Structures are given as C-alpha cells and as structure tokens.
Structure 1
Amino acid sequence: MAVPPDLADPPDLRVHFEQIFNAHFAEIHRYIARRLSDDTADDLAAEVFLAAYRGGYDASRGGVRPWLFGIATHLISRHRRTEIRRWKALSRTAERLEPSHEDAALARVAAGEVVGPLAGALAALNRGDRDVVLLSVLGGLSHAEVAAALNIPAGTVASRLNRARKQLRKALGDVNPLEETHG
C-alpha cells in the first residue's frame, strides 16, 4: 500500500509529530469528550492531529498544547448545533425528573441537582464565552493558554470568563453547588 504524499515526510518530522501526539492525545480526547461525547471524541481527536500534522506547527504562535486545543475548539465549532442540542436536552431531561427525597439529598451532596440548569446556562452563553469557560474548566488551560488556543488577547479571556461566571451564577440562583447546604 502506497503512503499518501502528505504522510511521506522525512523521518525526523514523523518522530517529532509522534512525540506531540503521544504527549497530548489523551488530554485533547478528554476535552472533546467532555464537550461532545466519547464517540465523537474518538473521531474528532484524530481529526485534530491530522489537521495539526497537515498544517504544521508554527512556533511563533506559542506552545504546542494551546495550538492543539485551538484546533480542537475550531473542530468542535463545526459540531456546535449538536453540542447545544445536547445541553438543552440535558436541561429538559433534568427538569422532568422528580427525584425522591433520598435522591434529592444525594444530588445535593454530589452537586447533581445543578446539572440541568447548568447545561441550560451553558447552552445560553454566547459561543465565545462558552469556549473560554469550557477550555478553562474541561481543558484545564490557563488564561494564557486559552488566549493562545482561541487566538484572542488574554484580557479578552479574563473578561469573557468573568461575564460567563456571572451568567452561570445567576442561572444557578446564586447557589454554590460545592456547598453542602443551600439555605
């Protein structure tokens, strides 16, 4: 079987890219799975690295990790409607459930009671704010890394994150889901 021309690069390039793949695939996959689903993450994570391999890394743009998260976020945006429908469906499902007293107590301890409202609030955020929140929370990226991933200034990251936190807090009724009592 013949090797496609774009994969017939010098061995040192393939070795370097293999190192990048091995170092970052799991976290890119995990980020995508948290945003979309495990099944989608399998395919989309592979697409991230294919796009990265074909596009080549430009060291002037910053670190490899934010670059890969930027590619992942761009590819996720193609799946935006599915993502938003998923958050909205989760929100509607949680609203219909009437848990027993025991279930409600367990949900408070596990912060599960905010999943539906949180999903709805995430779906209601504008795309830029939602990307910043999810890269920070699910991707574990710093402000500087989020800025590099989205190719925006660090100050924009901070303002978007601040605005999104206020909107999410308001949507949750100013409740901190990490506290045991909400009284």
Structure 2
Amino acid sequence: MPGLPATDEQLADTALIQQSWEEPEFFAGVFDRHAPLLHRYAARRLGPDAAEDVVSETFLAAFQHRRRYDVAQGDARPWLYGIASNVIGKRRRAEAARYRAYVRSGVHPTEVAGGLVEDGVTTLAVNLPLVAALAALKARDRDVLLLVAWVELTYEEVAQALDIPVGTVRSRLNRARKKVRQALDRNHTTHREGQDDE
C-alpha cells in the first residue's frame, strides 16, 4: 500500500545501510539478512567456535565503516565477505592447521561433512584429498576459490570483495582449480593403483 514504510526485507542492503547512517538500528536488518550465511562460510573455513568471532568482527567493522559503503552496490554480500576474508586472513594459520589436522587424523568435523564437496559426495576418500588440496593452496587463491564455490559470488563480486581486478580473480581461480584438480587426480590414480595391487 502506498504510504506505508518498507520493511527491512523489502529494503535493499544499500537503503538499510544508508538509513543506518542516521538511525543505526537499521543496520540490524543487514545483520539479520547476511549473518547466518556468513557464519556458515566462516565455520566451514575455521570451525564453529571461530565462526562466531569472525561474524562479530565482520559486522563490527562493517558497522563502524558503514559510511564508506559503495551505495552503487545494491547487494552488501561482496562488501561483507571482503571484510570477512580480511578477518579470516588474520587466522590463516588456524585455517591451514585445521585442514592439516583433518588430513592427518581423518576425523571428520561435523561442519565439514557435506560442505567440502559440493556434489553431495561426503566420503573420507574424497574429502581428505580435497582438504589436503585446499590446505596446499596459497591463501589468496583459496579465498577466491571458496568465495566462488561456497558463497557463489560472481567474478565481479569477488573482485569487489577482495579489492582486486576481475582478471586477477580469473587467474587465481584458474590456478586454484588446476591445483585442486591435479591433487585429486593424483589421489585417484594412487587409490586405483592400490586397489589393483590387492
């Protein structure tokens, strides 16, 4: 109906952020809209305990710098995931250690189950090589790969999130995919050779 104020669900992220400049409570709409998926992403990378901190730090930074938000962007996801990537970057050692521990122990953390392999295959035989391949990637390549694979950002959105050119997104993504594919192919070949020897 004309004349009625829009609800948070109806307002674009840009409108919520702009309104929060004068009325900070509007920023809660951005949090409510994006925090659950941001938490899921952070948990897949660092575990559920660290994910809480990542989400808190991300939204604190976003709120503090909300006047810097590019109002030409209707969707705040690239901006928020860019901040989250920086926060996760401070914990790179923890992320790599988590992957290595998983590969060594074979313990399948609940937040990883079904998360590392997007096609629904969740056997350790597939996940362990994939986790090892992710751990072996350079952090900047892993960021691009996971923002595309897990968050489903476009190349342009990843470029915006990480403040890099689209061409750099493409080259990092190609490099990451190639390395992961090679690692999985090597594992598949080794696994098949082991079965043939039996």
What TM-score does the superposition give when structure 1 sets the normalisation length?
A: 0.76
Cα-to-partner distance string for 1:66-86 (whole Å, 9 max, x where unaligned): 010000000001111011011
In the other structure, the counterpart of 1:74 is 86
Per-residue deviation at 1:174?
6.2
8 A Cα contact 1:34 1:138, kept in partner: no
Please report the RMSD computed on the Cα atoms of aligned residues, expressed in angstroms.
2.6
Matched, 1:27 2:37: yes
8 A Cα contact 1:130 1:164, kept in partner: yes
Q: Report the Cα distance in structure 2 between the residues aligned to 1:69 and 1:36, rounded to whole angstroms.
A: 15
Matched, 1:59 2:70: yes
Structure 2: gaps spanning 5 or more residues: 1-19, 108-120, 189-198
In the other structure, the counterpart of 2:181 is 169
Structure 1: gaps spanning 5 or more residues: 1-9, 96-108, 177-183
Q: Report the Cα distance in structure 2 between the residues aligned to 1:25 and 1:172, rounded to whole angstroms.
A: 32
Matched, 1:94 2:106: yes
Of 66-75 and 51-60, deviating more is 51-60
Matched, 1:144 2:156: yes
In the other structure, the counterpart of 1:36 is 46
Give the partner amino acid of 1:14: P
Cα-to-partner distance string for 1:109-159 (whole Å, 9 max, x where unaligned): 644312111111111111111110111122221111111110011111111
Q: Report the Cα distance in structure 1 between the residues aligned to 2:94 and 2:72, rounded to whole angstroms.
A: 30
8 A Cα contact 1:32 1:41, kept in partner: yes
Q: Report the Cα distance in structure 2 between the residues aligned to 1:74 and 1:94, rounded to whole angstroms.
A: 29
SS in 2 for 1:141: coil
Q: Higher relative contact order by CA 8 Å / sep ≥ 6: 1 or 2?
A: 1
Q: Report the Cα distance in structure 2 between the residues aligned to 1:67 and 1:12, rounded to whole angstroms.
A: 20
SS in 2 for 1:59: coil
Q: Do the aligned partners of residues 147 and 11 (structure 1) sit closer, same or farther apart at CA in structure 2, a change above 3 Å counting?
A: closer
8 A Cα contact 1:29 1:41, kept in partner: yes
Q: Report the Cα distance in structure 2 between the residues aligned to 1:138 and 1:14, rounded to whole angstroms.
A: 30
Greater helix fraction, Structure 1 or Structure 2? 1
The number of residues matched between the two structures is 157
SS in 2 for 1:51: helix
Cα-to-partner distance string for 1:34-66 (whole Å, 9 max, x where unaligned): 111111111210111011111224216844210
Identity rate, percent: 45
What TM-score does the superposition give when structure 2 sets the normalisation length?
A: 0.71
Per-residue deviation at 1:175?
7.5
Q: Do the aligned partners of residues 166 and 82 (structure 1) sit closer, same or farther apart at CA in structure 2, a change above 3 Å counting?
A: same
Q: Do the aligned partners of residues 79 and 161 (structure 1) sit closer, same or farther apart at CA in structure 2, a change above 3 Å counting?
A: same
Matched, 1:133 2:149: no
